[in-house]
Amino acid sequence: MSARAAIFGLAGRVLTDNEAAFFRDADPWGFILFARNVDTPKQLAKLCVSLRDAVGREAPVFIDQEGGRVQRLRPPHWRDAPPAALFGKLYAEDAGAAKEAVWLNHRLIAHELRSSGIDADCAPCLDLAIEGADAVIGDRAYGSDAGVIAALGQSAMDGLMAGGVAPVIKHVPGHGRADADSHFHLPRVRESLERLTETDFAPFAALRHAPMGMTAHIVYDALDAEAPATMSEAAIAHIREKIGFDGLLMTDDLSMKALSGSFEERTRRSIDAGCDVVLHCNGDRKEMIAIADAAPLLSGPAVARAEAAEDARTQRDEFDVRSGLAKLDSLMAGVAS
């Protein structure tokens, strides 16, 4: 595989000639879409075809479609999916019903994404809901119990992959305890390694077989008091060797303000630390050019991980959307929002 170890966004709803030429030359492994890129299902499907045509292959196209606050596809053309916390509430009443509901929700998400040309979802979020932490996670978490999060996260992964959408577990090794929003500041987690292993890290260890994971731009004092996990060789080694994750490891967005330095530096530090692929989301071509200049081609174990992630896009079932939605509505009917 000769693709570059990068995932890039774009500026608008149509791929411009200049963007297409850049992507053709840079050859990123994949693309990521945001609300600014979305209008209608027909427009979105056409955009996905244009992106893949630019690189001449079936490159993965990602989106953040968790449900709740974080979903780029919204009504009137797409369903308003519930936030993770509601499924956690259902789990407290009926664990089996909650796991079924999460599977159905993500199978429906997979249908919606694949119908528009998207085949990779930056979900599920396996972070814990921690009282007193920054609100950036909040109801994006299934709850505060690592076992519940692991169980529901597995159902989410299974639902996505049944519909041919590759999941990305995030934010490895755990964002829930962060004291700031990494979109704007660099968070720091001061808990002991023993405590983190029992709590924040545990859902990621349980789902270490996931095809892809996304790092957290967070400093964990117990792993590396100097660098955020994305750029820390010690933190990535812990993710690989102790947590046991061996899927494709991508960074969170390199344009987030938690990180410092030039985009060349951010790219090199992330790859040198052990990330397989860097992610850049805002569509700024000047920044992407700098990243493309610094990002290597996929090589070594990253090639096999990328191929395995692409294989996770194979649809595995037949699914009746109408009956699936009716069943989900029935399961969620008594859960207070």
Active-site residues, by number, are 183, 252
Reduce the DSSP state of residue 269 to 3 states and report it. Answer: helix
What distance in Å separates the CA atoms of residue 95 and residue 85, rounded to the nearest whole number? Answer: 14
What distance in Å separates the CA atoms of residue 149 and residue 202, rounded to the nearest whole number? Answer: 9
Would you give the distance in Å from CA 39 to the centre of its chain?
22
Q: Is there a contact between 211 and 309 (Cβ–Cβ < 8 Å)? A: yes
Alpha-carbon torsion angle 236, 241, 243, 249, nearest 10: 40
Burial tier of 107 (Cβ tally within 10 Å: 0-12, 13-18, 19+): buried
What distance in Å separates the CA atoms of residue 211 and residue 271, rounded to the nearest whole number? Answer: 18
Question: What are the Cα distances from residue 285, in Å, to 29, 122, 308?
Answer: 16, 22, 29
Residue 3's nearest CA partner among 32, 26, 33, 31 is 26
Burial tier of 221 (Cβ tally within 10 Å: 0-12, 13-18, 19+): middle
